[in-house]
Structure 1
């Protein structure tokens, strides 16, 4: 991208291509709980505002996993019927997905049991945008997880979604699922001024930025407009860069940042 070349960047700061995640300790708790659910399979619930970095954090945690011990399955298309969700899991596990739910469940359980007993592999199923899952999936998922009279947990599942997901799972019809959730975490926006500055500076440096791109006043503009959400901050920075290039600027003055914020409203 010409814009990135102009600023000497390898990729868009705070974008999906960034590999080095900034963490001042806030993600250490998630990392610890993530390890828990690897060693003692179960269900984790991770919520947060859109753009706060939930998916990026989990992607970062899964990249270092031993593929001979863990099979990471990522699913983000959740606005379908429950059978479609299980059929997608079947395809990811290399199982021919049956159209009948009972047969589909049997085939999936056999495959998961085979992975556990014969290959010592634990599937790690990450269901993103889980707030869109159909209610009947939430109701019958505990039954699907029932292996050997419910004496064993053979798959780790992370339900990832917007804050309302946690509220949904508090409802009476989903009590069976709620009682199985072993880890509940919510990622918060980076609202504090010093932390936000550290986040953006780390993102710019990681992307290859060699000079000061934004003044303190500009950083404050981005912080307030993005409400501390990394994705939104990244969108503002990239839009500002696009506006700066035709003007021949190699930094982002406050006026350009204001214009970028206005364009994204």
Structure 2
């Protein structure tokens, strides 16, 4: 109804923000540059900020800029998981059927990552809302 009244081409009030429509603030540009540096040097990074400041949106923009034939994106938005559930989520994201035992899933994840790398495909694992992740997962990953 308001779209017609205000002559809008899309609904600007949805929960999903389209990466085409955004303001490139100084913070957005800085976060994007840091993610680009991380992409170039390959490693582990942390993007932190106040709730609602746009961290997830910056990540979405970053992911949409990656060449899908060169990167395997694994996005885990839920971090209130057990270690085993976390490994299952990683397996799902990597496109493998998870084994029953945690140790077997760990081996599957390693093998899958090695396979992608051998094909010149870089796995990018994004864990959103990581502040809620359990210490047991961090201990298991040795972080």
TM-score (norm 1): 0.50
Who wins on radius of gyration, i.e. which is larger?
A: 1
Residue pair 2:48, 2:55 contacting (<8 A) in 1 also: yes
Per-residue Cα deviation, 1:189-210 (whole angstroms, up to 9, x for no partner): xxxxxxxxxxxxxxxxxxxxxx
Cα RMSD, aligned residues only: 1.7
2:109 aligned with 1:99 = no
CA distance in 2, matches of 1:38, 1:100: 32
Greater mean alpha carbon deviation, residues 106-115 or residues 93-102: 93-102
Q: RCO higher in 1 or 2 (8 Å CA, sep ≥ 6)? A: 1
Secondary structure of the residue that 2:123 maps to in structure 1? strand
Aligned 1:118-157 pairs, distance under 5 A? 119-142=119-142
Q: Which runs of 5+ in 1 are unaligned?
A: 143-176, 178-265
CA distance in 2, matches of 1:17, 1:27: 15
2:8 aligned with 1:3 = no
CA distance in 2, matches of 1:20, 1:29: 18
CA distance in 2, matches of 1:4, 1:52: 27
CA distance in 2, matches of 1:15, 1:106: 37
Q: Which runs of 5+ in 2 are unaligned?
A: none
Residue pair 1:4, 1:12 contacting (<8 A) in 2 also: no
Residue pair 2:72, 2:121 contacting (<8 A) in 1 also: yes
CA shift in 2, pair 1:5/1:78, >3 Å? farther
Secondary structure of the residue that 1:42 maps to in structure 2? coil
CA distance in 1, matches of 2:3, 2:130: 34
Q: How many residues align?
A: 141
TM-score (norm 2): 0.88
CA distance in 2, matches of 1:136, 1:15: 32
